[in-house]
Amino acid sequence: MTRGDVNSARLGLLSGADPAPVEVLNEDSSFPVVLLCEHAGRAVPERLAGLGVTEAQLASHIGWDIGAASVARAMADILGAPAVLQRYSRLVIDCNRPPDAPDAMPEVSDGVSVPGNRGLGATERAARVDEIFRPFHEAVQAMFLRSPRRAAFAIHSFTPVLGGVARPWELSFLFRDDRETSLRLRKSVLRRRPETRIGMNQPYQIDDASDWFVPRHGEARNISHSLIEIRNDLIAGAQEQMAWAEILSAAISDFLEDDKNAADT
């Protein structure tokens, strides 16, 4: 596996002490699938002084997608696929939201106040877009320009309870126009693990106002795609993360093999 770090333009938000916003795995791979993980990290730029939240809050589901980065890395390793991971907390800027969405830089997240996001001016918002959001999506674009790709999958996780409402699904596939891809992935997972509780467009639904991956990377490129959500209590440890990575990698391999067989007939 190769890893590359994409450096930001250092326009004023990120300092030399901050990590590069993007991590790229298997950068030179010609595998026909690109993996994304928009909420892979929980870093906060030094200049934002932790956004006024605690370390425990940053480590919770409001700060990042717990376990998602480890699953994405393991899938990239198993498949030999290129993967693009974003290192900064979703509280700094959510890279799966349009930058002008109300919750792209939330003042409150799941009832937790985020003082560092209060009253942001246009210049402050633009710095987060220019130094974190844009480099991430440019790195994704580079993977599509490097080699022909047939599909893209974003790896996320969700909390078992939100706002007092239980979420019983173990795995979910989110989609809009491309329903077929998610149905095929679901079928493959159930063949290997029939007891899996799978949600389709649960606990979230896709729309232009609040989502980026499906409208801007999947639909805009007219390629097969699905946003994959795993319940985060099921991927809290290394063993569980690897188990889900193996299941999902097998489902993606089935998807590609079925396409190949269909093309050969």
Cα dihedral 234, 40, 190, 202, rounded to 10, equals 90
What percentage of residues in the chain have a pLDDT greater than 90?
Answer: 92
Structural domain that includes position 252: 3-264
Residues 6+ apart with CB under 8 A from 10: 16, 131
Residue 8, pLDDT > 70, answer no
Provide the mean pLDDT of the chain: 94
Better-predicted residue by pLDDT, 264 or 178: 178
User: How far is it, in rounded angstroms, from Cα 87 to Cα 94?
Assistant: 11
Rounded CA-CA distance 118/223 in Å is 38
Helix/strand/coil for 83? strand
Question: Which amino acid would we find at residue 130?
Answer: D
Write down the pLDDT at residue 162.
93
Instruction: At 35, give phi and psi (nearest 5°).
Output: -105, 140
The number of distinct structural domains making up the chain is 1
Average pLDDT over residues 210-229: 98
Q: Report whether pLDDT(259) > 80.
A: no
Mean pLDDT lowest for which of 4-13, 32-41, 206-215?
A: 4-13
Confidence of residue 264 (pLDDT cuts 50, 70, 90): low
Looking at residue 265, its pLDDT comes to: 56
Percent of the chain with pLDDT over 70: 94
**pLDDT band at residue 1, thresholds of 50, 70 and 90?**
very low
The yes-or-no verdict on residue 55 having pLDDT over 80 is yes
| Residue 64 in this model has a pLDDT that exceeds 70 | yes
More confident residue, 51 or 4: 51
Residue 134 belongs to domain with CATH number: 3.40.630.40
Higher pLDDT, 6 or 144: 144
Average pLDDT over residues 180-197: 98
**How far is residue 3's CA from residue 75's CA, in Å, rounded to a whole number?**
14
Mean local confidence (pLDDT), 123-147: 97
Given this model, what pLDDT does residue 219 score? Answer: 98
Q: What's the average model confidence in pLDDT over 77-88?
A: 98
C-alpha distances out from residue 32 to 20, 104, 144, 218, Å: 26, 30, 9, 14
**Least confident span in 1-5, 110-114, 185-189:** 1-5
Span 1-26, average pLDDT? 75
Q: For 235-263, what is the mean pLDDT?
A: 92
